[in-house]
């Protein structure tokens, strides 16, 4: 069952490859006392994710910050090495590129997507959420295969 507005994010650990090496971030580290725009993609380097989803947050980063967002983060069921390289490829240096390599966070929030039949394994549904101090205050989930409500512009309209 998917997480709902008003619910606290579950405990999970993300991996981020930084210049100094691999770093782990807990949900507590990332969300406690902060307002975070979090969005998830089915996979790094996939067509819609690369051509539209990540660019919508890169382009609107300053507008999100002006509206009080402390952190803009992208999560995907990929490893930290892929997320770092993809972030660089997308000119997303302002975004926090979170690796959920084993889909533990994705499963904990109930937003996994089984793409095994397409050779991609368990992935994340495409969504965006606004999280204030660890609690989901907005949640926009796209139907599988769609990109209609999880973009930065929709999230901005909800602030």
**Which residues are annotated as catalytic?**
49
- What lies within 8 Å, CB to CB, of 53 at 6+ separation is 39, 41, 126, 147, 150, 151
Q: Quick count: other Cβ atoms within 10 Å of Cβ 36?
A: 19
| DSSP string over 84-114 | HHHHHHTT-TTSEEEE-TT-HHHHHTT-EEE
Taking a C-beta distance cutoff of 8 angstroms, is the pair 92, 71 a contact? no
């Amino acid at each position: 069952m998917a997480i709902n507005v008003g619910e606290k994010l579950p405990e999970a650990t993300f991996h981020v490859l930084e210049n100094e090496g691999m770093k782990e971030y807990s949900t507590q580290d990332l969300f406690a006392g902060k307002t975070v725009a979090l969005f998830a993609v089915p996979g790094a380097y996939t067509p819609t994710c690369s051509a539209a989803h990540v660019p919508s947050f890169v382009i609107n980063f300053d507008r999100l910050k002006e509206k009080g967002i402390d952190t803009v983060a992208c999560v995907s069921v990929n490893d930290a090495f892929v997320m770092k390289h993809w972030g660089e490829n997308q000119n997303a240096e302002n975004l926090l590129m979170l690796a959920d390599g084993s889909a533990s966070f994705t499963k904990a929030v109930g937003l996994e997507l089984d793409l095994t039949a397409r050779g991609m394994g368990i992935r994340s549904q495409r969504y965006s959420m606004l999280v204030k101090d660890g609690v989901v205050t907005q949640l926009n989930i796209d139907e599988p295969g769609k990109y209609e409500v999880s973009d930065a512009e929709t999230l901005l309209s909800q602030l």
